A and B are shown apart, each in its own frame.
Chain A
Amino acid sequence: MSHVFTDTGIIAGRYIRQTASSKLSLLFGALQPLLFLVLFGPLLEDLHLGEGGDSWQTLVPGILVQLTLFSSAFAGFTILMEKHNGVVERMRVTPVSRLALLLGRLVRDSLQLFAQSLVLVLVGVAMGLRAPVAGVLIGFLLVGLLAAALASLSYALAMRVNSPQEFAPVVSSLNMPAVLLSGILLPMTLAPGWLDTLSRFVPFRYVVDAVRDAYTGHYADGSVLLGAAVAAALAVVSLGLGTRVFRRVSA
């Protein structure tokens, strides 16, 4: 247990250096959400999207969560590559803390997401977004929790399967409906009753709603708290599962 922190730092450092040296892929990771912002955002400007907030305060949080869902859900892909190259076993033969092998990667993932989110918000501001700084920071915290949760699940899945062919279909078939049902592009309050009800079973919806309320400065109406609680609960469950898999798996 005593080595978890140092080992997490070592693992994080390795992956941060690796990610930082491929700046192009960092950019491409954020390209799709940026395109949404710039090419789709202006279409919404004059529409009335629901109570409180203008279209940018609705769209930017949605795109932020979308970026989080996609980048975190596919995080496990890198482990598949590393398993193929023998890197995972090579590290598991050293005395390194098993938990650090997961946490170190999560540290890199959250930093990467933070950098991309920051760019996204800044571009949003240039496009017309106005939001309180505290709200934006709360938003980063919420998506950070969500990212930790999803990336843990993704890594755990990748440790258990043997090929991208087993991994990709599971992730995409879960991810796409999740994106649609959490009201990422348009708020679910616009949906007909049955769709709205269905979406209440998708936990990400609460995070999207919470980030939107944070961006309009409505911290106290309960939805920020609910979103935070859902994200935290997801993170606890997923990290628990991820830890179990990393401790036990004989990948």
Chain B
Amino acid sequence: MPAAIHTAGLTRTFRTKNRTVEAVRGIDLTVEQGEILGFLGPNGAGKTTTLRMLTTLLPPTSGTATVAGHDLIADPKGVRERIGYVAQSGGVDPTVSVREELTTQGRLYRLSRSEAARRTEELAGELGLTALLDRPCGALSGGQRRRLDIAMALTHSPALLFLDEPTTGLDPGSRADLWQLIRRLRDHRGMTVFLTTHYLDEADALADRLVIVDDGRVAAQGTSAELKRTYAGAADAGLQDAFIAITGRRTQREEEETPVAV
């Protein structure tokens, strides 16, 4: 089975008027089909930048990647048809109704009018949005909004789903629901999920395998147990200890977060 994602030497440098930021400095990774990959790192590590490259939104400065069987640079369309992407802060217009957004999304994925309407009902049913279809997206709660964002990304039943910090800002209940949902996507549909997070507990509980990024580079990778054994000395140590050993620092707590421009 070919890998879902394979990258070699992926880099991205941002040049602004007064400074140059090497956001991603050469990332090599392989994501197997059907796994939940946790892309874990502190704020500013380059997670979002990597994701935006892998989803064709941002051209890499250098490096190559194959995503869902298609070359990122040579065939971005082929990639787009096969992936779903949920950005860190979502992607719906607060003034537009849930139904309008889901149906438009269906149309953008080339469903006919009637197919798009049917798919809207189907996704709303699966994600518990049926009662909300005619509300404006802006009226949804944080958890409902995330489910909508995910529904939007599932419109075309992609084989590979990218989630950028899916549970940031959610209450514990919605967070647990979302973990369930993500596991279900893997277990029942064999979907590959590439998710970024800066929460150690989330990475530990949800991901089949972890890639730890720091300062634009892969600092370590393996299963949670492997990382704990290698870096913290015991498989039952905390992931926190392994993380500190790898990066030399703690992940930031949410209260201390500085918003990162996306």
Contacts and interface: CB of A to CB of B under 8 A. Distances in A.
Q: Do A and B bind each other?
A: yes
Interface of A: 3, 7, 10, 14, 17-18, 22, 82, 85-87, 89-96, 162, 250
B90 A14 contact: no
A87 B93 contact: yes
A7 B108 contact: yes
B91 A94 contact: no
B247 to A, nearest CB: 28
B77 interface: yes
Contact of B80 (A3, A22, A95): A95
Residue among A90, A95, A96, A250 having the largest count of chain B Cβ atoms under 10 Å:
A90
B90 A93 contact: no
Residue of A14, A17, A82 most packed against chain B (CB within 10 A): A14
Interface stretch (B51-59, B202-210, B237-245): B51-59
B95 interface: yes
Given A250-B57, A250-B58, A93 B107 contact: no
Interface string B64-82: 0000000000000100110
B105 A85 contact: no
Interface centre among B90, B93, B94 (most CB of A within 10 A): B93
A89 B87 CA distance: 8
Nearest to B55: A93
Q: Is the interface of A mostly helix, strand, loop or mixed?
A: helix
Contacts, number: 69
A93 B104 contact: no
B139 to A, nearest CB: 14
B96 A95 contact: no
Contacts of B105: 90, 94
B85 A93 contact: yes
Given A18-B95, A86-B87, A87-B91, A95 B57 contact: no
Given A17-B100, A95-B80, A86 B90 contact: yes
Given A87-B91, A87-B92, A94-B80, 5 more contacts: A10-B108, A87-B93, A90-B105, A96-B108, A250-B59
Residue of A17, A91, A250 ringed by the most chain B CB atoms within 10 A:
A250
B107 A90 contact: no
B169 to A, nearest CB: 14
B232 interface: no
